[in-house]
Structure 1
Amino acid sequence: MTTIQKIAIAYAIIANIVGLSVMGIDKRRAICHKWRIPEKTLFLVSILGGSIGTWTGMYLFRHKTKHWYFVIGMPCILIVQLVLYYYFW
């Protein structure tokens, strides 16, 4: 395995941990009626490689599952990323 592949795997792991975390943090803030993480930020984290984490966080924390653009958007981002990972790998 090359150094670039190792870096890509480490980046993907970190991005998905961040994705899972932001969904959990936003859910907690919603429950406590505090300042929320903007939806654009949640999508940005997903687009930057955290789609598995954000999608998992949606269902783990039962957060944003009633918003059609999350229910459809997150899996679409994941599919595009998987195709790109496969193409470049």
Structure 2
Amino acid sequence: MRIYNISYILLGFLLLWNLLVYLIYYLDKQKAQKGLWRVSEQTLLLMSLCGGGLGALISAQQFRHKTRKWYFKLVWLVGILVDGAILYMIWRLR
């Protein structure tokens, strides 16, 4: 497999992962408003930390979800740094 194919696969995975994290935050907000069972904070934080920081931050800002908790803001920042590191790695592979 050529290097540029791996780069596209990694980039696609990163985009899909951030989209999934965005949707999970949205669904959790919807469940919170309806008083239903929620996604655990630990799961939200872990997904954000593992490369979903940008999706989490955009979703949180758009839906005003978990924006008052300092540790979520910290994890979003670290998650965005992870996103940046992955993008840098993809760029270096080319």
Bin the TM-score by the shorter chain: 0.7 to 0.9
- Following the alignment from structure 1 to structure 2, what is the Cα–Cα distance between the partners of residues 84 and 66? 28
Q: 48, 51, 58: which is aligned to 2:50?
A: 48
Go from structure 1 to structure 2 and tell me whether the alpha carbon gap of 1:13 and 1:41 turns closer, same or farther (over 3 Å shift): same
Give unmatched runs, 5+ long, in structure 2.
none
| Equivalent runs, 1:3-82 vs 2, <5 Å | 3-82=5-84
Deviation at 1:84, TM superposition (A): 4.6
TM-score, normalised relative to structure 1: 0.88
Matched residues, number: 89
Query: What one-letter code is carried by the residue in structure 2 that aligns with 1:79?
Result: L
Q: Alpha-carbon deviation of 1:37?
A: 0.2
Higher relative contact order (CA 8 A, sep 6+): 2
- Once residues 58 and 22 of structure 1 are traced to their aligned partners in structure 2, the CA distance between those partners, rounded to angstroms, is 10
Unaligned 5+ segments in structure 1 are none
Whether the 8 Å contact between 1:18 and 1:45 is mirrored in structure 2 is no
Identity %: 29
Report the AA paired with residue 24 of structure 1: Y
- Following superposition, the deviation at residue 87 of structure 1 comes to 4.5
Runs of 4+ in 1 over 4 A off after TM superposition: none
CA RMSD of the aligned region, Å? Answer: 1.7
